Structure 1
Amino acid sequence: MKVLMLTWEYPPYIVGGLGMACYGLFKALAGLGVTVDFILPVKEDVCFEIKNPEEASHPRIKTDKDDEVEGLKGEAGANKKPLEFFKVVYELPEEGAYASLKDFIVEVSKRLEVVPSKLGVEVPEAVILRLKEILLQGNHMISKVSYYTERALRLAEKVDFDLVHAHDWLTYPAGLMLKKYFKKPLVSHIHATEFDRAIGFGHPLIHEIEYLGLNYADRVIAVSRYTANIIKEHYFVPEEKIRIVYNAYYVETESPQKVRKFKEPVVLFLGRLTPQKGPTIFLELAKKVLERTRKVRFLVAGSGEMERDLMLWASSLGYGAHIMFTGFLKR
């Protein structure tokens, strides 16, 4: 079997929870004899192939011009240059026009005649047209999704695949269009919902993409019972369509070499700077500790829509270099 995977992350470049989940999944599928081709948000027209578990750490690049780019691990080559990734910065939405999310979803359902109870339902042309409207919204976040979708459709013409597997809302438009145009079944994998990322209503366009991507998939994979309950309750995804697959993990056999930069103990926050991850709680704890002692440093590693506000808040506390920000880290 050959699976075309759509994902926004894969180690070692963008290594969030999604990237590590994909690494474990792709490696396990390859061990079962499944060929995995996957498309990442890179500016070059390339996709990656894994045919056995060992290749999960060194995916083979598939391109018409093999000498133009280097692999994920940076194989040597005189004419090779690194892949150029683009990333989405989550943008907090303006106030929604609907009093409740339920009213919003019901309105979308009626307008597009969504039939969530049917398994294997075809993707209507009205849904494709609506997705194209959304992708033309023009803001930074949606424009990157539009760019990825366009690239995925073009690359899919060069890949032989039996199934499309899309990870989270960023890839759902591409997944739905591939299902429509290539007549292939679609699995939508939901790692986190807009309810997890946002405070309050959330971004209506993301809610709409999640709603359509989940209801028009042939199968939905949720990473937890909690997530499964969320999409059943708020997006009306039928339970018979959902399968729960927990994220696995692997243990490094070699301990990394540690280099101590500071004499004091260091407390680390590592993650996306978004409400879902709780960075404000980390700074509140840092404040309480630093009120008692300055013999400790707090390090915030990561980026996100809250980064500027968090830095301003930390600066206003007056603890100087005892609270430090690294910004986005590739590795």
Structure 2
Amino acid sequence: MKVLMFGWEFPPHILGGLGTASFGLTRGLAQQRDVDITFCLPKPWGDEDQSFMKILGMNTIPVVWRNPDSELLKNRYPWMDPQDYFRCREHIYSDFGYLYTDDIGCIGFSGRYTDNIYEEINNYSIVAGVVARSEQYDIIHSHDWVTYPAGIHAKMVSGKPLVIHVHATDFDRSRGNVNPTVYSIEKNGMDHADHIMCVSELTRQTVINKYHQDPRKVSTMHNAVEPLTQEIQDIVPNKKPYEKVVTFLGRITMQKGPEYFVEAAALVLKRTHDIRFCMAGSGDMMNDMIRMVAHRGIADRFHFPGFMRGKQVYECLKASDVYIMPSVSEPFGISPLEAMQCEVPTIISKQSGCAEILEKCIKTDYWDIHAMADAIYAICNYPSLYEYLKIEGKKEVDAITWDKVGERVLKRYKKVLGIK
């Protein structure tokens, strides 16, 4: 089976959980028999893992006719097959001379969530029309709202079925203060989709009730976690025996509930002073959180190391004694699985998708800072509880693998295609 996938980010250049999930799902799917994946990205960097699928850079697909030399293409994009360029060039379907293009007729992309995101989404969809006419595939799979228009375009061109993957909705990102433009893009994608995969039952219910979708075409496809590489396993945690470290790791935005982490920390520090708190990440609420920590008088026990990626994430997790995800609305949340994989006792909010599949952790309501503080204090002060969550948590998460998710996704593809 040939799958044409549209994504927005991919490791090692990720901005959040979408890139991590895209990698895990494609790798798990590629492990199934006779599955070929072409994964489209706005702007690949060239160091992405292409050992199990082909990556197409939308910034290397021509929309205006040019006649560059093959050597120029090889030198500029050494990871790309020049034949992809020339094949796609034969399928330019309209006059896009009004668009700003480079010397080889391609549109530039930032590959980020910039101020002109809607322009990039539209341009991505235009390029998707060229790709859809050039590639051979059986089914289309679009990851998250930024790629839904591309998926719709590919479906209209090819007549092939469209599966969209809802990693989050704007109801999650905005705490209900929904952006009507984003909502419109999301709903249009869902309306055109032949099937909708959601990362949790929580998200599935949002899709059904808030976007008015037929429950029969909406399924739950929980995320999983990649096995730890030897490099990560070999990381020696830098821990101090006389104090504990409690970590929040993620975007510092209202969706993630960082203020509840700070409030719980303030309560814990009234009972003991032998705990340090780490808020790793970046986001629009970071300065507010720094001010809040100062106002609570706990700045001497708080650290803000900034955004982390790759190995840094695991170094931070392995140096932690407790991991906490107090999200207000979390469609899934892969980071708790990564923490438990590193043998870190974990606290998650009940308002998270991963709470549906995790049992060997402590769950609290995101707003219940007293329960959160009690859980932190208990894990740090009762060795038997710490050891239980550490050992049993790792066992539980080690069984939640992407190859199992890939198997379920393939079965869903076959059902959509009418293959028994």
TM-score (norm 2): 0.55
Q: CA deviation at 1:70?
A: 6.6
Alpha-carbon distance in structure 2 between the residues aligned to 1:237 and 1:47 = 38
- Residue type of the alignment partner of 1:28: G
CA RMSD for the aligned pairs?
3.3
The equivalent of 2:352 in structure 1 is none
Equivalents in 2 of 1:59, 1:290: separation in Å?
Answer: 51
Distance change >3 Å, CA 291–CA 228, structure 1 → 2: same
Counterpart CA distance in 1 for 2:135 and 2:234 is: 37
Alignment of 1:260-275 (within 5 A): 260=238, 264-275=243-254
- C-alpha distance in structure 2 between counterparts of 1:283 and 1:306, whole Å: 12
Structure 2 residue ranges without an equivalent (≥5): 61-69, 80-108, 311-420
Unaligned 5+ segments in structure 1 are 72-83, 90-138
Aligned residue number for residue 87 of structure 1: 112
User: 1:49 & 1:258 partners in 2: Cα distance?
Assistant: 26
State the match for 1:231 in structure 2.
207
In the alignment, which of 301, 311, 321 is matched to residue 290 of structure 2? 311
> 1:293 Cα shift?
4.1
Shift in CA distance, 9/324, structure 1 to aligned 2, threshold 3 Å: same
Q: CA deviation at 1:61?
A: 6.6
Q: Which residue does the alignment assign to 1:21?
A: 21
- Change in Cα spacing, 1:42 to 1:326, as seen in structure 2 (3 Å) is farther
Match of 1:9, SS state, is coil
Q: Where does residue 196 of structure 2 map in the other structure?
A: 220
Q: Which amino acid aligns with 1:34?
A: V
Q: Is the 8 A contact 2:8 2:111 kept in 1?
A: no
Q: Which residue of 2 aligns with 1:162?
A: 138
The offset of 1:48, in angstroms, is 7.6
CA positional deviation for 1:309: 2.3
Instruction: Verify the 8 A CA contact 1:3 1:162 in the aligned structure 2.
Output: yes
Percentage identity across paired residues of the two chains: 36
**How many Å separate the matches in 2 of 1:43 and 1:9?**
8
Note the 1:1-331 alignment, pairs <5 A. Answer: 1-14=1-14, 16-32=16-32, 33-42=34-43, 55-56=51-52, 65-69=73-77, 86-88=111-113, 139-252=115-228, 254=230, 255-260=233-238, 264-331=243-310
Number of residue pairs the alignment of both structures matches: 266
Which one has the bigger helix percentage? 2
Distance 1:217 1:61 in 2: 22
Call closer, same or farther: CA 1:147–1:245 in 2, change over 3 Å: same
- The 1-side partners of 2:228 and 2:47 are apart by 27
The letter of the residue matching 1:323 is F
Distance 1:260 1:69, change over 3 A: farther
Q: CA deviation at 1:47?
A: 12
Please give the secondary structure, in 2, of the residue aligned with 1:300.
Answer: strand
Partner of 2:412: none
How far did residue 38 of structure 1 move?
0.9
- Give the Cα separation in 2 of the matches to 1:141 and 1:60: 22
> Secondary structure of 1:273's partner?
coil
Aligned partners of 1:157 and 1:272: how far apart in 2? Answer: 37
Distance (whole Å) between structure 2 residues aligned to residue 267 and residue 70 of structure 1:
43
1:190 and 1:202 map into 2 onto residues whose CA distance is 16
- Contact 2:12/2:48 (<8 A) preserved: no
Name the SS of the counterpart of 2:76 in structure 1: coil
d(CA) in 1 for partners of 2:125 and 2:11? 21
In 2 relative to 1, CA 153–239 (structure 1 residues): closer, same or farther, beyond 3 Å?
A: same
Deviates more, 1:7-16 or 1:260-269: 260-269
1:328 is displaced (CA, Å) by 2.5
